[in-house]
Amino acid sequence: MRSSSTKQVAENNRGLNGRFFTLRSRLYNALALGLRNDEGGRRWCCTDVETQRHVVRSIDAFLDCISSDTSQHPLVKESLADIIPALGTTLIQKNEAVMKLASKVFVRMISVVPSTILESLVLDVVHPVSSSLSSCHESVVISCATALNLILSSLSSKKEKEVWKILEETETIDNLIHHIRSSGSKPAEFFLETISLLSKILWRFPSSRFGVWNNTALMEVVASLMHEPILSVKASVLQLYSTIALCSNGAEKILNSGNSNSLLQMMVECMNGSNPNYLQLAGFTLAECFSVSEKGRLKMVESYCEPLVKAIVNGLSLHSHSGKLTKEQMSLIKVSCCVSKIICWPGKHHMYFWKLGIESVLVKLLLDDLHIKKLSQFFLSSEDFSTMARDCLSANFLLVIKPHVWDILGGLAAHCAEDFNANMLQNEFYLNILITCACLGFVDSLRSTRQSCRNAVHEPVSRAVLLMIYSPSKYISSMAKSILSGMLKPNAKEDIKYLLNTLNASSSSLSSGVNIVSDNLQVINLISLACYSGLPQYRRYVIKNQGIKILLSFIQKLSSSNHVHGEGLNNNTSKSLHYCDHNMKICCYGCEEDWEGEESFLVFGLLGLAELVHHVGSVKGNNVDWFELTESEMISEVEKICINSCASGSRCYGAYLLSYFGVYGFPSKLGNRIGNVLSGDEDEHKHTNLRLILANQEHVNVHGVIVSVGCPSLLPSEGKTIGRKEIRLSSHVNHQALLKLLEYVYSGHLKAEDEVVKRLKTLAKHCNLQPLLQLLCRNRPKWRTHAPSFDLTPALGPNGSHFSDIVLEAKGNTYEGWMCETCSVSHPHLHAHKAILCASCEHMRALLCSGMQESHSESIKVDLGWEALVRLVNWFYSGKLRPKPKYGCLWHNLNEKEKLDEVIPYVELYCLSDSWLLEELHKECSRVIGSCLDSVKMAIKIIQIGADCFQWDLVELAAKFIAPSYHHLRNSGELLQLDEQLVDIVRVASVRLTQRVHHL
C-alpha cells in the first residue's frame, strides 16, 4: 500500500506523462551546462555556441509537451522561471545562428504559455526581445517583433510603466523606425511585423507617438506604401495611421499633409463591404480616430461623404447578411457604430443616411428578425403595439449596440431638415418602431431614476427622445410627442412633481458646495423635465408647479458654483473616446464635448427653461411667480452664463432664452467693452472714419474697422480709402433698425422692442447675419452648432490694415523670420486701430486721447517682446490669449530652454497687465503660467523675474510649485542663485504645505 506522501505526489503530477518528465530532465541537464556561481547566486551564463544551441533546442522540445491542461502546473511555472533567463541571455549574445533559433522559441513560448503565467516574468522576456530588435538579421527582427506583439496584446496595465521603461532603454521605437524605413527590399512579412509592433506600442503608450509622426522620413515611407496592392500591407498602413491619429497633433499632421486625400480615399475604399473583415476594420478604425476632432470629421464628410456613409451603413448592416456573428464581425459592427456618430454633428451627410434606409438598419440592430416580423404582421392599436414593442426590446439581442442606436437616432432627429417627412423614408413603419422603442426606453429610464437606479445606459435613450421632441422636422417631432404623451399619461403628474422636487433639492446641494455634475441621475432628470416641457399636455402643469422658478434657481446656482466649462492648458491626459466600447488612449485632444459631459447640465436646463418661457405667455407683466429676481436681474443671470461659459451649448441656449426677453445675440466681456464705443463720448467718436447716410439724409458715424469685421455687407466691395468716407444706404434701411444692427455689430448683442424686430429681421437677412436672424426669429439652436464668438482679430490682417491709424512696436529691433504684409518696415510691429485699443484698455485710452505727444504719434513702442505684443493685441481684439502655449506632446518634447521661451511672453504680459490695470488679462496670464510650470529650474527663473519686477504674487505662485522639493533644493545648493528673501518665501511655502498635509 502506497504512503500518503506518495499519493500526494501522484495527485500533484496528474496530467503529466513520462515524456514530460523525460524532456524536463533533459532540459535541466542542458541548463546545468551554463549555470555559473557569482555574488548574486547561481545564474545562467554561457558563451559557447554549441551549448547555447543545445539549450535552446532542449527548451523547444520541452515546450512540445506543454498543453492547455498542463500549462498551469507548478512544475511548468517553475521551469519557466529557469527557461526565460537562459533563453534571454542566449538571445542577446548576438550569434546569428543561435539568435534565429532563440527568437523563434521565444515566439513559441509566448504562444503556448498563458499570459497569466508569463505576467510575473514578462519583464525578463521584454528586455532581451526588445534589445534584439537592433539586429540586422531579418528573421530575428521578425520573430522578436512577433514576440513583443503577442506580449503587448495581453499585457496588464500593472506592468505598463515598467515595460515602457524597458522599451525606452532599448530604443525600440528608433530601431523599428530604422527597419521600416529600410524595408523596401525586404519581404512583406518583415514590414508587416515591424509596423504592427510599432502600431501596438503607439496604441498602448501615448508618449511614444510624437517621435513617430514627427519623423518626416518615416511618414514619407509609410505614405508610399499606401499604393501597395497587397491587402495586408494596406491594413498595416491604416493601422499605423490610426495609432498616430490618437494624438491630436499627429492627426493634424496627417490631415494637413499633401497625401491626406489619397489616404482618405484608401480608407473609404477599404471600408467597403467587398473587402475582408480585417481590412474593413482597419479602415473603420482610422475613420473612428479622425472622427474625434472637428477637423477630421469635416474633412471626411466634405471629401468622401456619400461613399463614407455607404460604407458605414454597410458596416452596420453586416449582421443581416450572416448567421452567428464572429468576434471580428462584432468588432466591425461596433466600430461602424462609432464612426456613424458623425451623425451627431451638423453636415451634409444626414441626407445620405436617410437615402440608404438607415431607419431599417437601426431597427435590425435593435431587434432580432423574429420580433421585427411579429411587429410587422399585425395591425395593432397603439397600446398593443407598445406592449409588443416592449417585449421585443427586452429580448437579449446585441445589448452593447443599443446605446449606439439611440445616439445615432438622436443625431438624425436633431439634424433633420425642417421639411423632412415620410416620403423621404424607405420604410415609415421602421421609423415608427424606432420612436416607439425609444419612448419606451425613456419611460423606463424615468422610472429607474425614481428608484435611484444609476444606469448610464438610460442617458442615450433619454437624450434621443429629447432630440426627437425638439427635432426641426415637424414630422418626427409630432410623432415622438404623440407616442410619448400616451405612454406618460398614467403617471405624468407624479413624475413632474418628483422631477421638480429632485431639482429643487439639487439646487440646495449646489448651494452647500456639493458637486452633482457626475450624477447620471440628475442628467436624466433634467432631460425628462425638458421633455415634459415640450409636451403641450403637461407643460402647463410644470409651470403651475413652479417649474420656471425651480429651473432658474438650479441654473443660477449651477453656473455660480464654477461648473461652467472652461479651457484647459497643457492637458496631455490620456482618455477614452466617450462613445466607444473599447478603450482608445487618445492624447493632446482638448475637450470638444461642449454639448455633453458636465456642460449638459446647463444645456438641458436652459433648453427646458426656454421652452417653458416660450409658452408661458407674454414675458412682461405675467402673473406667474417666476423667481425672486426682477426681469433685469434675470437677464443679467443668463447673460453671465453666456459671458463666462466657453461652451457652445450653454451659450446657444442662453442666447435663445434671452431672445424671449428682447435681448438678441451672444453677450461677451469684449463685446460689452467695444459696444461702449458706439455710444461713447467725444474721444471715441473722433476715431470714426465712415459715415452711413440713409435716404432721408439721416446719418451715423461709425468705425470702419469694426463694421468691416462685424457686417461687411454694409460696406461697398470696391474702393477702399483711408480717412472719412460716406456710404449711402438703400432707401429700405430704417434708421432705428440700423442703429440696432450697429449695436449688434459693435457688441455682439442688442436689445430691441417687438416693433423694431420685424424691420431688423429684413436688415439682418440682407446683411447675411444668420446667427442674429435665427435669434430674431427665435429659432431653436441647432444641436452641436458653434456659438459665434465676438472676435475682431480679422481686422489685424491685410483687409483691416487700410483702417489702421496706429502702429504698435515691440521692444528690440530684430525678430528672426519676421515680415510685415502691409508695409516695408523691417522691425516687429502691428498695424492696429485706436478705437479698439481705447475701448479695450484704459491705459491705451489715456495714452491716445490725452493730447500728449503719444496721441499725435503714428506709432507707439510697447515694453514687450514681439511674442508678448502679439498676445496682448490678440487679447484686445478677441478677449483671448492667442496663440496658446504648445500643449500635449509638443510641450513635453521641448527642452528646458524652449519651455521657458514659451512661458516668458506670458510672464511679460503678467507684469504689464498689472501696471496697466488689466485685471482679466492678469488672471489669465497667471493661469497659463501656473499650468506651464513643470520644472524646478523654470520655477526658480520665474521667481527671480517676478522679484525683479516686484510681482510678488508671481513669486508666490512659483514658490508653491517648488515647495515640496524645498529641502532637497536647499541641500543640493540649487537655491543659491536666489537671495535670502526669496529662499525664505520658498521655505514659508514649504512649511505651509507641510502644515496643510498634516491637517488633512
Task: Convert the pLDDT of each residue in 223-276 to its tens digit.
Answer: 998 888 899 999 999 999 999 999 999 999 999 999 999 999 999 999 999 999
Amino acid residing at 215: N
Query: How far apart, in whole angstroms, are the C-alpha atoms of residue 778 and residue 788?
Result: 16
510, amino acid identity = L
Half-sphere exposure of 627 (CA within 13 A, CB side): 21
The residues near 536 (Cβ < 8 Å, ≥ 6 apart) are 481, 615
Cβ proximity of 500 and 545 under 8 Å: yes
The pLDDT of residue 592 is 60
User: Position 864: which residue type?
Assistant: L
Query: Which residue stretches of the chain have pLDDT < 50?
Result: 1-4, 7-11, 321-322, 563-579, 581, 618-621, 623-624, 719-723
Q: Burial level of 471, CB count in 10 A (0-12/13-18/19+)?
A: buried
* Confidence at residue 380, expressed as pLDDT on a 0 to 100 scale: 58
Q: How is residue 625 written as a grid cell?
A: 411667480
C-beta neighbour count of 491 within 10 angstroms: 14
How do beta strands 806-809 and 859-861 pair? parallel
Determine the residue type at 47.
T
- In this predicted model, what pLDDT tens digit does every residue of 936-995 receive, in sequence order? 999 999 999 999 999 999 999 999 999 999 999 999 999 989 999 999 999 999 999 888
Residue pair 92/131 in contact by the 8 Å Cβ criterion:
yes
To the nearest 10°, report the CA torsion of 51, 57, 60, 65: -110
**Rounded CA separation 17/127 (Å):** 33
For the record, the C-alpha cell of 103 comes out as: 527568437
Amino acid (1-letter code) at residue 208: S
User: Which pTM value belongs to this model?
Assistant: 0.90
Q: Which of 838, 918, 836, 925 is nearest to 877 (CA)?
A: 836
Cis peptide before 883 (omega within 30 of 0): yes
Buried b (16+ CB within 10 A) or exposed e, 216-251: eebbebbbebbeeeeebbbbbbbbbbbbbbbbbbbb
Q: Tell me the sheet residues that pair with 663.
A: 751
State how far the Cα of 639 lies from the Cα of 632, in Å rounded to an integer: 10
Q: Looking at residue 323, what is its pLDDT?
A: 52
- The three-class DSSP label of residue 453 is coil
Q: Cα–Cα distance between 450 and 604 in angstroms, integer?
A: 19
CA 745 to chain centre: 31
Which residues sit opposite 809 in a β-bridge?
A: 829, 861
Q: What is the pLDDT of residue 39?
A: 61
> What HEC string does 58-95 produce?
HHHHHHHCCCCCCCCCHHHHHHHHHHHHHHHHHHCCCC
HEC states along 721-753? CCCCEEEECCCCCCHHHHHHHHHHHHHCEEECC
What's the N-to-C CA distance of the chain in angstroms?
67
The answer to whether 201 and 152 are in contact (CB under 8 A) is yes
Residues 488, 535 contacting (CB under 8 angstroms): yes
Tell which residue, 972, 964, 951, has the closest CA to residue 982: 951
Longest alpha-carbon distance in the chain: 125
Whether 848 and 806 have beta carbons less than 8 Å apart is answered as yes
Rounded CA-CA distance 222/241 in Å is 9
Q: What pairs with residue 702 in β-bridges?
A: 690
